[in-house]
Amino acid sequence: MHVLLVEDDAPLAESISSAMRARGWRADVSARGEPVPASLMQDPYDALVLDIGLPGIDGLETLRRVRAQGSMLPVLMLTARDAIEDRVLGLERGADDYLVKPFALAELLARLHALVRRHEQRQSQTLELAQLRFDTVGRRAQIGDQPLHLSARECVVLQYLMLKTGQVVARDQLTGLIPDWAPGSSDNALELVMSRLRAKIEPAGVRLRTVRGLGYLLEATPAG
């Protein structure tokens, strides 16, 4: 699980993030809200933990911007102010849960875990592009009614590209999804995965383009 924690209280941020790491989660910490929307576009996080009282734009405004860009990421708000208005506002703006400081770290982890589980269940869906279908729960791809046989690598890469249809996805984003990817692997190693995937999916009426110097883009083949 990969969590973005936005908390300007450095000792608190450190104790939360080390508790997450102790559980085997990855935790990135930001002390400010401004960079959060861009960070979420770049990295595939599983959840956002957002303090309300932040320097610069506060947690509520950060949340509004995150939701405004269409992110459905589970969000747990933290507030030192035990004020009903903050909680109501947070929930209205699309927070999934909140915790009032001080809280037990174990409770934070348990609530976050529950949020992510619920989110994954809601996400159970089929992604579709032209004749290509991808079941995000069963992690199965089909062209029309025909199952498509994919390697584990091709499978994670395809799911992500389908979620980002029409957008250029950087090479690093894709290699970051592959659990056993060796950091020193050459660009050719990814290109090999992509060319095999391309050959399998193109009969579905989709096109997997290499955007030189940037990454890859999946789109429907233009008609005609």
User: Applying CB under 5 A, which residues contact Ca ion?
Assistant: 8, 51, 53
By beta-carbon proximity to Ca ion, the closer residue of 100 and 178 is: 100
By beta-carbon proximity to Ca ion, the closer residue of 32 and 149 is: 32
Is residue 125 classed as helix, strand or coil in its secondary structure? coil
Kindly state the smallest distance separating residue 160's Cβ from Ca ion, in Å.
Answer: 33
Kindly state the smallest distance separating residue 101's Cβ from Ca ion, in Å.
Answer: 9
Using Cβ positions, the residue closest to Ca ion within the complex turns out to be: 53
DSSP structure class, residue 147: E
By beta-carbon proximity to Ca ion, the closer residue of 8 and 135 is: 8
Kindly state the smallest distance separating residue 51's Cβ from Ca ion, in Å.
Answer: 4
Kindly state the smallest distance separating residue 5's Cβ from Ca ion, in Å.
Answer: 12
Residue with token string 């062209």: 143
On whether the CB atoms of residues 44 and 160 are closer than 8 A, the answer is yes
By beta-carbon proximity to Ca ion, the closer residue of 46 and 51 is: 51
Rounded distance, CA 157 to CA 177, Å? 7
- Strand 2-6 relative to strand 26-30: parallel, antiparallel, unpaired? parallel
Give the residue from 160, 34, 48 showing the smallest Cα distance to 95: 48
